[in-house]
């Protein structure tokens, strides 16, 4: 079967600094990028539509 191992970056939620005005609507194909690196690993850039 297939296996996905990934790394996500971000920061701890601080409600004093991070003010949510909307919810996540969808993942979009706009500027989606999936490519194989010279090391043989794969990388992906995924944009979330808010």
Residue pLDDT, tens place only, 2-37:
777 777 788 888 989 888 777 777 777 778 889 999
pLDDT number for residue 35: 92
**Predicted TM-score (pTM) of this structure:** 0.44
- pLDDT bin (cut points 50, 70, 90) of residue 50 is low
User: Which residue's entry shows tokens 């003010």?
Assistant: 19
Average pLDDT, integer, range 36-41: 92
> Does 16 map to a domain?
yes
Question: What residue numbers bound the domain in which 22 lies?
Answer: 10-49
Phi, psi (deg, nearest 5) at residue 49: -85, 115
> Does 33 map to a domain?
yes
> Does 41 map to a domain?
yes
pLDDT number for residue 37: 93
> Does 3 map to a domain?
no
3-class SS at 40? coil
Q: Cβ(45)–Cβ(37) under 8 Å?
A: no
Tell me the torsion sign for CA atoms 12, 16, 18, 19: positive
Q: Would you say residue 49 has pLDDT above 80?
A: no
> Does 1 map to a domain?
no
> Does 2 map to a domain?
no
Number of domains in the chain: 1
> Does 25 map to a domain?
yes
The Cα–Cα gap between 14 and 11 comes to: 9
């Amino acid at each position: 079967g297939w296996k996905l191992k990934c790394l996500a970056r971000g920061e701890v939620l601080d409600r004093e600094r991070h003010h949510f005005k909307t919810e996540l609507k969808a993942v979009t194909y706009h500027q989606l990028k999936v490519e194989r690196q010279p090391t043989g690993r794969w990388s992906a850039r995924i944009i979330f539509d808010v």
